[in-house]
């Protein structure tokens, strides 16, 4: 059964060449293996590429419009010769079967010339940003070396008014065939024509600037706008800024991949930022304030509640990273790390003993699982800390 190439590309049967090209480029950007590695997407990308190959070739498209499939070499597919499995069927041995499959029975069975004009490849560059730049977004100029349309021949690949000619080796078929003998019989194989590389035509008088490729290497400067909220590994797509294809084919896309540098204080988890505040045990007991860095709002003064416990947190809502293309922002989570003095002089130790005497009954002990002292007080935890040193 012939494949519906128009449906695969999502175009009408009366679509123009430009409409077919635009539809292919749109689908190729979504399904290209470099962008979408999913197996199902790669299979669909092959179908889309086949559809473009067929519908961009006038002769193959004519076969489709007649109800056939130029890529189908089975009987009725119009892609092979008239021999096939026709009139008498097979009466010979296994060698005759293979001879019919790979020899004259399919009339060549190839896919025909692929043409000189093909879509260009996508390109990828990496850009390193710090956390503040990821949070606010930036505009950067980048320099890229890519293939651009040859301004002398405008992609034709020929010098002056000359035109490509039919390849003398493959006679325009784009492939050459050879017959090999084996114990199974005669086997015919096809491979791209070595003279025209499968294009079906050759350029006798190539353009002196691009040597017949229709494109040249050039260094360009582009301005890239990175939106606020991007993160490590995210990509920004610049449509049509990739490489121009052979023969002046449509350009691919340019992808700018962000590499995020680590921040001195802040740790990012999606749109949430985390920061650790080291609090002396005296401020943890009495309360106080600490100055906190942010990525957009400058420095914030954050209150330290009296009696804060080691590992307690405080959430500052809306002070985290922006969400790309929205007005939403994540949170900033402050983690309190209570700092216990490692060394005390004689006077300091005496003062702490006097302070400890104000809390009779508070002694180191083993906490009972599920018991009330699971949430023991600050100084019980501090004494546990000292005991573990």
pLDDT of the residue at 131: 95
**What pLDDT, on the 0 to 100 scale, is given for residue 257?**
94
The pLDDT value given to residue 371: 58
> Is pLDDT above 80 for 52?
yes
3-class secondary structure per residue, the chain: CCCCHHHHHCCCCCCCHHHHHHHHHHHHHHHCCCCCCCHHHHHHHHHHHHHHHHHCCHHHHHHHHCCCCCCCCCCCCCCCCCCCCCCCCCCCCHHHHHHHHHCHHHCCCCCCCCCCCCCCCCEEEEEEECHHHHHHCEEEEEEEEEEEECCCCCCCCECCCCCCEECCCCCCCCEEEEEEEECCEEEEEEEECCCCCCCCEECCCECCCCCCCCEEEEEEEEEEEECCCCCCCCEEEECCCCCCEHHHECCCCEEEEEEECCCCCCEEECCEEEEEEEEEHHHHHHCEEEEEECCCCCEEEEEECCCCCCCCEEEECCCCCECCCCCCECCEEEEEEEECCCCCCHHHHHHHHHHHCCCCCCCCCCCCCCCHHHHCCHHHHHHHHHHCC
**Of 336, 305, 330, 299, residue with least CA distance to 316:** 330
pLDDT of residue 1: 57
CB–CB of 221/146 below 8 Å? Answer: no
pLDDT of 115 over the 90 cut: no
Classify domain 266-387 at the CATH topology level. Answer: HSP40/DNAj peptide-binding domain (2.60.260)
Average pLDDT over residues 208-227: 93
CATH assignment of 116-157+210-261, given 3.40.50.11740, 3.40.50.620, 2.60.260.20, 3.60.20.10? 2.60.260.20
Task: Give the mean model confidence (pLDDT) for residues 271-291.
Answer: 92
pLDDT at 321 over 80: yes
Q: Where in the chain is the domain with CATH 1.10.287.110?
A: 1-70
Q: Which residues have CB under 8 Å from 1's CB, separation 6+?
A: none
Is the backbone of residue 174 left (phi > 0), alpha (psi -120 to 50) or beta? left
Q: What is the dihedral of CA 167, 173, 176, 178, to 10 degrees?
A: -140
* Amino acid 114: pLDDT: 76
Average pLDDT over every residue of 7-34: 86
Considering the chain, what is the average pLDDT of its residues?
81
Query: What percentage of the chain reaches a pLDDT higher than 70?
Result: 80
**Residue 288: other Cβ atoms inside 10 A:** 16
> Which residue has better confidence, 28 or 132?
132
The answer to whether 134 is a known ligand-binding residue is no
Residue 184's pLDDT is 55
Q: Could you tell me where in the chain the CATH 2.60.260.20 domains are found?
A: 116-157+210-261, 266-387
Identify the band that residue 139 occupies on the pLDDT scale cut at 50, 70 and 90: very high
Going by pLDDT thresholds of 50, 70 and 90, the confidence category of residue 112 is low
1-70: CATH number: 1.10.287.110
Look at residue 28 in the predicted model and tell me its pLDDT.
82
Q: Which residues sit opposite 142 in a β-bridge?
A: 222
Whose tokens are 């709002």? That residue is 297
Query: Using 50, 70 and 90 to split pLDDT, how confident is the model at 366?
Result: confident
* Mean pLDDT calculated for residue range 288-307: 91
Per the model's pLDDT, the better-predicted residue between 84 and 10 turns out to be: 10
Residues 6+ apart with CB under 8 A from 193: 167, 169, 170, 173, 174, 175, 176, 200
pLDDT at 25: 85
Kindly report which listed range (61-70, 104-113, 199-208, 212-221) carries the lowest average pLDDT score. 104-113
Mean pLDDT value of segment 7-25: 89
Average pLDDT of span 254-264:
94
Assess contact for 311 and 335: CB atoms under 8 A. Answer: yes
Report the range out of 41-45, 90-94, 316-320, 382-386 with the highest average pLDDT: 316-320
pLDDT for the residue 306:
92
207 is in an annotated binding site: yes
| pLDDT at 111 (0 to 100) | 59
The pLDDT of residue 2 is: 66
What pLDDT sits at residue 87? 32
Task: Please give the pLDDT value at position 30.
Answer: 84
Q: Is residue 385 predicted with pLDDT exceeding 50?
A: no
């Amino acid at each position: 059964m012939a494949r519906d190439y128009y449906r695969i590309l999502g175009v009408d049967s009366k679509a123009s060449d430009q409409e077919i090209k635009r539809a292919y480029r749109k689908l190729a950007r979504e399904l290209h293996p470099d962008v979408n590695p999913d197996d199902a997407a790669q299979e669909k990308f092959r179908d889309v590429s086949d559809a473009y190959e067929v519908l961009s070739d006038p002769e193959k498209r004519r076969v489709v419009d007649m109800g056939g499939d130029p890529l189908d070499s089975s009987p009725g597919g119009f892609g092979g010769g008239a021999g096939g499995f026709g009139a008498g069927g097979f009466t010979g041995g296994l060698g005759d079967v293979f001879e019919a499959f790979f020899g004259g029975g399919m009339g060549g069975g190839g896919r025909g010339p692929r043409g000189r004009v093909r879509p260009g490849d996508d390109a990828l560059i990496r850009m390193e940003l710090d956390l503040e730049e990821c949070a606010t977004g930036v505009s950067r100029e980048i320099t890229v070396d890519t293939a651009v349309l040859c301004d002398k021949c405008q992609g034709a690949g020929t010098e002056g008014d000359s035109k490509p000619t039919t390849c003398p080796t493959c006679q325009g078929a784009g492939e050459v065939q050879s017959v090999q003998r084996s114990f199974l019989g005669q086997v015919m194989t096809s491979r791209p024509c070595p003279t025209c590389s499968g294009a079906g035509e050759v350029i006798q008088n190539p353009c002196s600037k691009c040597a017949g490729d229709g494109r040249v290497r050039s260094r360009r400067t582009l301005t890239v706008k990175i939106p606020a909220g991007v993160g490590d590994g995210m990509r920004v797509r610049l449509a049509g800024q990739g490489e121009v294809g052979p023969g002046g084919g449509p350009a691919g896309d340019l992808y700018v991949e962000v590499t995020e540098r680590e921040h001195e204080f802040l740790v990012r988890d999606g749109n949430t930022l985390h920061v650790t505040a080291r609090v002396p045990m005296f401020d943890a007991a009495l309360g106080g304030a600490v100055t906190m860095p942010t990525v957009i709002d400058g420095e914030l003064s954050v209150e330290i509640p009296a009696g804060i416990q080691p590992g307690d947190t405080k959430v500052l809502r809306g002070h985290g990273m922006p969400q790309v293309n929205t007005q939403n922002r994540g949170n900033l989570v402050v983690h309190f790390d209570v700092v216990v003095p490692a060394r005390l002089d004689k006077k300091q130790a005496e003062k702490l003993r006097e302070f400890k005497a104000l809390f009779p009954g508070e002694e180191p002990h083993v906490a009972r699982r599920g018991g009330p002292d699971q949430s023991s007080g600050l100084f019980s935890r501090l004494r546990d800390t000292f005991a573990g040193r």
